[in-house]
Amino acid sequence: MTVETLAALATFAAVSFTLLAAHSFGDHWVQTHRQACAKGAPTRAGRAACARHVATLTITKAVALGLVMLVTGLRLDAPWLAAGLLGDAASHYWADRRTTLAKLAERIGKGGFYRMGEGLASGAYALDQSWHHLWLFLTALIIAGGGT
C-alpha cells in the first residue's frame, strides 16, 4: 500500500467520523423544536423551516471539518468540500420534507416499516437516519477523493 493510499484512507476516515458526529449533533441539538415540527409541512413555512434546519446542519458540519483541519493540519480541496456539503445538504432537505422519503419507502416495499412506531422509535426515523448516513458516506467519498 502506498503512502498516498494510506493518506487518502486516513482522510476518508477523518472526514467520515467528523461528518457523522456533526450530523448527529446538528440534527438533534442544533435543530430547533419549531424546525423539527414544521419542516415536513407541505407549505411555504414548512419549506422555509426545512431550509433553515439544513442550513444550520450544514454550517455545523463545515465548522466541525474546519476544526479537524485546524487541529490536525488536514488539507481538503475547497471545491470538493463545497460540492460534498452541497450534495449532502440537498439530500438532507429532500429526505426531511418527509413526504418524499415516505413515497420512496412505499415504492420500494418499506411503507409498512416506515409507518411502524412513533417518534424516535419509528420506522420513519430509522429510514430517515439511514438515508442521511448513506449520504454522509457518499459525502465523505466526494470530499476525501477531491484533489487526489
Task: Look at the chain and report how many structural domains it folds into.
Answer: 1
- The grid coordinates of residue 2 equal 502506498
pLDDT, tens digit, 9 for 90 and up, residues 89-100: 999 999 999 999
Q: What is the pTM of this model?
A: 0.94
Instruction: Reduce the DSSP state of residue 97 to 3 states and report it.
Output: coil
Q: Which domain holds residue 16?
A: 3-145
Mapped onto helix, strand or coil, the DSSP state of residue 39 is coil
Average pLDDT for 66-92: 97
Alpha helices by DSSP H, listed for 28-146, are 33-38, 44-72, 78-96, 99-107, 111-115, 123-145
Instruction: Give the chain's length.
Output: 148
User: What distance in Å separates the CA atoms of residue 95 and residue 98, rounded to the nearest whole number?
Assistant: 6
Residue 147: what pLDDT?
Answer: 58
